[in-house]
Amino acid sequence: MTRLLDVLAILMLVLAVAALCGGVYVMGNRDDLGAMFLLVAGTVLLRSSVDLLRPRSAG
């Protein structure tokens, strides 16, 4: 189960990087709504990925 969560977290991290890069690219095309959507989605994915990868305390 732990390995599955690690794979999911890494996949989310890759998707977050892709979404953030896509948001910057779309921002260059002056599509503000699309850029905002991709940047927010990338931020949420990054936060979720970090929460899954962060080691939990034992107690």
Annotated domain spans of the chain: 2-53
Q: Taking Cα atoms as reference points, which of 36, 40, 58 lies closest to residue 48?
A: 40
What's the pLDDT at 37?
Answer: 96
Tens digit of each residue's pLDDT (9 = 90 or more) over 1-59: 788 988 999 999 999 999 999 999 999 989 889 999 999 999 999 999 999 888 777 65
- pLDDT of 59: 57
Per-residue pLDDT at 1: 76
Residue 34 token pair? 């699309």
- Written as one string, the DSSP assignment of 30-42 is T-HHHHHHHHHHH
pLDDT at 53: 85
pLDDT at position 17: 96
Alpha carbons 18 and 4: distance in angstroms, whole number: 21
Q: How far apart are CA 30 and CA 44, in angstroms?
A: 22
- Give the per-residue pLDDT at 36: 96
CB 46 within 8 A of CB 19: no
